[in-house]
Amino acid sequence: MLKISLLFFIYSCCAVGTGKAGSIYAVVVGISDYKYAVPRGQPGFGNLNYSDDDAVKFTALLKSLGVPGGNIITLINSDATYANITQSLAHVFPRASADDMVMFFFSGHGGPGFFTTYDIDVNNERNFLYHQHIKLAFKSSPARVKFCFADACYSGGIKSKEAGKSIEVHEDTDLSATTEGKGTEKANSANIVVMMSSRADEVSMESSEVMQGYFAYHLIRGMAGKADSNSDKIVTISELYKYVRHGVQKSTSKKQTPITFGKFNPNLTVVGLR
């Protein structure tokens, strides 16, 4: 099974490090049923079970955190075509100002170097949502806070040489030593975090018990407060990644390992709890 859910960008004013309040702009995608799905057991993309549920639950999480519904575009199953996804990214991301934050969530199939769309046609090589599409969408936005969360088979492949320098955070890494650049001014000028559900050579799995992808399940629970290890009502990147990595590895008997990399302030707030 090639399972992917791309979850992008949770923001609070503390995350930017400017003290100014900002807005969140999000594109949320979940695809369980594909236009060109093949029967189970045959080569190609078959239908999934819970990717659409991942998208619905992630959208609900954003709204519970106070994100206005008008700032979120949610595309599920047949609405999640290549044209709709790329047009939504082109419409939403540039709307953000420097003090805002942008988000992209994608849940569905994935492969080395790409995410899938509802109307992907692998036989004719059409409608692939390549990782480069996401990188270009990032660049189109002036927002200084950009997070990428992805529950995806082979999703770690988004980290490539052409993406520029990056850092990979492991569970035992001291995040205070991993911010790229020297000094807080450079670190705070652009916070870009990419958290993927699996390494470049690993598949990402779904769970019939929790009716979600393992990564999406632990990510949403972590952001809802479970990752707040010191009970200070703030979920930081360090706390969230450690919680998600531990949960996914335990649930999959270490067959799936999330990774995190990017350019960010190590104390970046992911969620401020109420």
- Residue found by looking up tokens 């990644």 in the block: 241
Strand bridging mode 145-152 / 101-108: parallel
Q: Specify burial of residue 131 (Cβ count, 10 A radius: 0-12, 13-18, 19+).
A: buried
Q: What are residue 145's phi and psi, to 5 degrees?
A: -125, 120
Mean pLDDT of 203-212: 93
- Residue found by looking up tokens 């206005």 in the block: 68
Quick: pLDDT tens for 77-113. 999 999 999 999 999 999 999 998 888 888 888 888 8
For residue 193, give the nearest of 262, 253, 124, 143 by alpha carbon. Answer: 262
CATH 3.40.50.450 applies to domain 4-272: no
Is residue 65 pLDDT above 90, yes or no?
Answer: no
Is residue 18 pLDDT above 60, yes or no?
Answer: no
Q: How far is CA 212 from CA 53, 99, 122, 158, 166, in A?
A: 7, 32, 25, 22, 29
Q: Enter the pTM of the model.
A: 0.82
- Domain spans in the chain, listed from the N-terminal domain onward: 4-272
Using CA atoms in the order 230, 231, 234, 240, what is the torsion angle rounded to 10 degrees? 60
Give residue 153's pLDDT.
77
Quick: pLDDT tens for 163-202. 333 334 444 443 333 333 333 334 346 788 888 888 888 8
CB 165 within 8 A of CB 181: no
For residue 237, give the nearest of 171, 184, 153 by alpha carbon. Answer: 171
